[in-house]
């Protein structure tokens, strides 16, 4: 029994999402290997992967065709390497979600998406209906292809391991697709999905400048990432990638401060695993208060500046 | 160029799903059902491509029970030209749906298969990618912008770090994300007209696809309920409480 984790990496660094997937893979009970597929900087990421506690081997596939994780090129590589494994796991990031089903279809396997626990060698739980129900599922496929909800698994220790790195080869460029560009969001703030503290704003912030005026100073003070509800994103206050929720980012920080967010089901599905939830809302009946550890019924335009000052 | 648009009949996104007491699933009896919202976006995008002169025919497909005809009629009323229902009362998994769609794509030869990135019932997010693999064609998932450029299609994708643009040779598979467009409402005259548009009914067996599930759902339960905490009177109390919890 051995499991292969598909590494998410950038700039020679292993992403935290990979560490959560390693923890999930270890729960299957066998050896855990990591595949790093990428371009020039993949070697550095493979060396970093070799340090992850609990990883016994790292496979490195270095080819310019793998640099941008194009599913058309990477999936056949993974499907080939998967021959020697009982399970293939990828984190439920946009990269993992893009590639894993393509791998599963190439292997004629029905994928298990977004697992939140390992119940047995082939049994898992996963959220369905936007987190309104939890399904326990069991696969009958000989090989498993799994995506892992990263917030549901602790991160494996990034150091302490000393796995060997072995080169593997795939077919390279499938000639079907090409990478054009990435408009990366540049920010000095911590990344939403890995932030320890998140300050999130909702529709009550009125408009973009107001959102900025009230949310940003508090986030600055706390060294927090900034999130938003779908309503705030749809209203154009902030860009898409701020969205926390079932259809946006799933987060689980130590502290989540929801400001002017009513707490629609799909938003709650994206943040209810946060350790401490604070809600500030004018409406005492807002559903957000049903999940908040600390609730304050107040006008955010008074409360937030005061909070920023007093923290 | 033809565009194939698979659509799924799911619980309406405004309805709060209720888990059955015996843990066998979510109660769908007497619940409002609608087209999966991501699929509506796919239908809309296909119509816009046709309106811009990039496509000639839009074929909507659904794999599901007889009542999925209603979902297909919605697609037709929005502007699809004809529809195919692959009728089955089984719960068909994404892999089997992808196999059926591949068989249909082999017959129809679409330039683009446009589908929602995930269905809001099982939240699998697999069918498009699987179809692309089975067809041996490229995939542009989580699309927020789609532009046809000769025999290629440029897809801007919503990825974790921002927006990524890829160029795909057609035929290609595109899966839609929320902000690609705002789907139109079907007008009453178009709803009437849709009733006369062709709708073929087939079965999975017609395509030689075995829809036996690979995954068994052994239990469905309510998610753990998070207990509401404490309400505080003012900001001072909030700060004190945060400090007491060691959260700041």
CB contact under 8 A, B120 and A132: no
CB contact under 8 A, A134 and B232: no
Average pLDDT over residues A201-227: 96
User: Residue A282 and residue A261: Cα distance in Å, rounded?
Assistant: 10
Burial of A236 (0-12, 13-18, 19+ CB in 10 A): exposed
With cut-offs at 50, 70 and 90, classify the pLDDT of residue A191.
confident
What would you report as the CA-atom Rg of chain A, rounded to the nearest whole angstrom? 21
Where are the domains positioned within chain B?
A: 2-217
Residue B239 in contact with partner chain A when CB distance is under 8 A: yes
CB contact under 8 A, A185 and B142: no
Pick the CATH number of A192-310 from 3.40.50.1220, 3.40.640.10, 3.60.150.10, 3.30.160.100: 3.40.50.1220
* Nearest residue of chain B to residue A279 (CA atoms): B231
* Distance of residue B238 Cα from the nearest chain A Cα, in angstroms: 7
Q: State the pLDDT at residue A234.
A: 86
Burial of A154 (0-12, 13-18, 19+ CB in 10 A): exposed
With cut-offs at 50, 70 and 90, classify the pLDDT of residue B165.
very high
Residue A143 in contact with partner chain B when CB distance is under 8 A: no
Residue B204 DSSP symbol: G
Instruction: Count, in order, helices (H) and strands (E) of chain B.
Output: 6, 13
Q: What is the ipTM of this complex?
A: 0.95
DSSP string, A69-128: --HHHHHHHHHHHGGG-SEEEEESSHHHHHHHHHHHHHTT---EEEE-EEEETTEEEEEE
Residue B236 in contact with partner chain A when CB distance is under 8 A: yes
Q: Is A246 annotated as a binding residue?
A: yes
Nearest beta carbon to residue A128 from set B123, B162, B165: B123
Domain A2-167: top CATH class: alpha beta
Which residues 31-90 of B are in CB contact (within 8 Å) with A? none
Domain B2-217: top CATH class: alpha beta
Residue B193 in contact with partner chain A when CB distance is under 8 A: no
With cut-offs at 50, 70 and 90, classify the pLDDT of residue B25.
very high
With cut-offs at 50, 70 and 90, classify the pLDDT of residue B162.
confident
CB contact under 8 A, A296 and B231: yes
Inform me whether the pLDDT recorded for A273 exceeds 90.
no
Q: State the pLDDT at residue B161.
A: 79
CB contact under 8 A, B95 and A183: no
Q: Is A281 annotated as a binding residue?
A: yes
Average pLDDT over residues A279-301: 96
Q: State the pLDDT at residue A306.
A: 97
Q: Mean pLDDT score of chain B, rounded to an integer?
A: 96
Which residues 268-297 of A are in CB contact (within 8 Å) with B? 272, 275-278, 280, 289-297
Q: What is the pLDDT of residues A110-150, one digit of tens each?
A: 999 999 999 999 999 999 998 889 999 999 999 999 999 99
* Distance of residue B189 Cα from the nearest chain A Cα, in angstroms: 30
User: Residue A47 and residue B153: Cα distance in Å, rounded?
Assistant: 37
* Nearest residue of chain A to residue B14 (CA atoms): A265
Q: Percent of chain A at pLDDT above 90?
A: 88
- Partners of B221 in beta bridges: A134
Using an 8 Å CB-CB cutoff, list chain A residues near B131.
105
Where are the domains positioned within chain A?
A: 2-167, 192-310
Inform me whether the pLDDT recorded for A246 exceeds 80.
no
User: Residue A297 and residue A284: Cα distance in Å, rounded?
Assistant: 6
Nearest beta carbon to residue A101 from set B126, B217, B248: B126
Residue B170 in contact with partner chain A when CB distance is under 8 A: no
* Nearest residue of chain B to residue A196 (CA atoms): B247
With cut-offs at 50, 70 and 90, classify the pLDDT of residue B172.
very high
Which residues 80-139 of B are in CB contact (within 8 Å) with A? 93-95, 98, 120-134, 136-139
Q: State the pLDDT at residue A169.
A: 94
* Distance of residue A128 Cα from the nearest chain B Cα, in angstroms: 5
Q: What is the pLDDT of residues B69-117, one digit of tens each?
A: 999 999 999 999 999 999 999 999 999 999 999 999 999 999 999 999 9
Q: Is A50 annotated as a binding residue?
A: no
| Burial profile B132-154: b = 16 or more Cβ within 10 angstroms, e = fewer | bbbbebbbbbbbbbbebeeebbb
Token pair, residue A310, equals 């007093």
């Amino acid at each position: 029994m051995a499991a292969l984790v598909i590494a998410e990496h950038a700039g020679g660094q292993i992403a935290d999402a990979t560490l959560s997937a390693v923890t999930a893979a270890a729960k299957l009970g066998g050896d855990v290997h990591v595949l790093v597929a990428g371009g020039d900087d993949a070697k550095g990421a493979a060396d970093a992967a070799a340090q992850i506690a609990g990883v016994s081997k790292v496979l490195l596939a270095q080819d310019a065709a793998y640099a941008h994780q194009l599913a058309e090129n990477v999936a056949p590589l993974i499907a080939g390497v998967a021959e020697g494994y009982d399970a293939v796991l990828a984190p439920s990031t946009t990269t993992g979600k893009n590639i894993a089903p393509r791998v599963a279809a190439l292997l004629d396997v029905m994928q298990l998406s977004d697992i939140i626990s390992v119940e047995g060698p082939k049994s898992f739980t996963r959220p369905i209906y936007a987190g309104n129900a939890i399904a326990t599922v069991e696969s009958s496929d000989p090989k498993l292809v799994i995506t892992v909800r990263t917030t549901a698994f602790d991160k494996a220790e990034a150091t302490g391991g000393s796995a060997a790195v072995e080169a593997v080869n795939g077919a390279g460029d499938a000639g079907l697709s090409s990478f054009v560009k990435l408009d990366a969001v540049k920010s000095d703030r911590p990344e939403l999905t890995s932030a320890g503290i998140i300050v999130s704003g909702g529709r009550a912030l009125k408009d973009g400048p107001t959102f900025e005026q009230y949310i940003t100073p508090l986030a600055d003070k706390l060294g927090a990432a900034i999130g938003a509800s779908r309503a705030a994103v749809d209203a154009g206050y902030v860009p898409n990638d701020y969205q926390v929720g079932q259809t946006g980012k799933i987060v689980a920080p130590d502290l989540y401060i929801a400001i002017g967010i009513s707490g629609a089901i799909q938003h709650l599905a994206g943040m209810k695993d946060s350790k401490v939830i604070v809600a500030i809302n004018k409406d005492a009946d807002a559903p957000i208060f049903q999940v908040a550890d600390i609730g304050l019924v107040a006008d955010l335009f008074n409360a937030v500046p005061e909070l920023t000052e007093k923290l | 160029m033809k565009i194939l648009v698979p659509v799924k009949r799911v619980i309406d996104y405004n309805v709060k799903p209720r888990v059955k007491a015996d843990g066998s699933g979510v109660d769908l009896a007497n619940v409002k059902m609608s087209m999966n919202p991501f699929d509506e976006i796919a239908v809309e995008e296909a119509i816009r491509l046709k309106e811009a002169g990039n496509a000639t025919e839009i074929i909507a497909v659904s794999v599901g029970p007889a009542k999925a005809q209603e979902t297909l009629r919605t697609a037709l009323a929005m502007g699809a030209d004809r529809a195919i229902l692959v009728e089955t009362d089984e719960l068909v998994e994404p892999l089997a749906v992808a196999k059926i769609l591949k068989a249909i794509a082999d017959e129809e030869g679409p330039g683009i298969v446009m589908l929602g990135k995930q269905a809001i019932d099982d939240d699998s997010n697999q069918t498009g990618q699987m179809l692309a693999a089975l067809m041996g064609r490229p995939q542009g998932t989580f699309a927020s912008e789609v532009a046809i450029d000769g025999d290629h299609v440029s897809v801007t994708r919503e990825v974790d770090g921002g927006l990524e643009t890829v160029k795909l040779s057609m035929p290609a598979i595109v899966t839609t994300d929320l902000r690609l467009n705002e789907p139109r409402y079907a007008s009453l005259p178009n709803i009437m007209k849709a009733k006369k548009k062709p709708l073929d009914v087939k079965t999975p067996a017609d395509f030689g696809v075995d829809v036996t599930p690979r995954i068994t759902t052994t239990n469905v339960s309510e998610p753990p309920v998070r207990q509401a905490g404490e309400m505080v009177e003012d900001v001072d109390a909030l700060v004190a409480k945060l400090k007491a919890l060691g959260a700041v």
